[in-house]
């Protein structure tokens, strides 16, 4: 991954982590790691979905419903 791609993922990643922390408090390290494995498209989808989350359980359920086994491809 080159620097431009790193930045494309880093900015939304940091924003999502800040939003989740502000809304629910500390996010478990394991959950943070799962978020870091998402592609840019998946990060964008999560950014929209988290607007409807009412608890960290919703975040856990979100990951239960998506396939993280697919390769992390940059869009």
Among candidate residues 52, 54, 44, the one with its CA nearest the CA of residue 24: 54
pLDDT at 75 over 60: no
Each residue's pLDDT tens digit, 28-66: 999 999 999 998 999 999 999 999 999 999 999 999 988
| The pLDDT value given to residue 66 | 84
State pTM to two decimals. Answer: 0.76
For 14, 16, 53, 63, the CA distances from 19, given in Å and listed in that order, are: 9, 5, 11, 17
Q: Which two tokens stand for residue 12?
A: 């939304």
| The pLDDT value given to residue 69 | 45
């Amino acid at each position: 991954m080159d620097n431009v791609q790193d930045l494309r993922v880093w900015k939304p990643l940091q924003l999502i982590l800040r939003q989740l922390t502000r809304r629910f408090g500390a996010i478990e390290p394991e959950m943070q790691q799962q978020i870091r494995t998402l592609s840019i498209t998946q990060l964008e989808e999560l950014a929209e979905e988290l607007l409807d989350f009412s608890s960290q359980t919703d975040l856990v359920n979100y990951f239960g419903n998506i396939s993280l086994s697919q390769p992390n491809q940059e869009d």
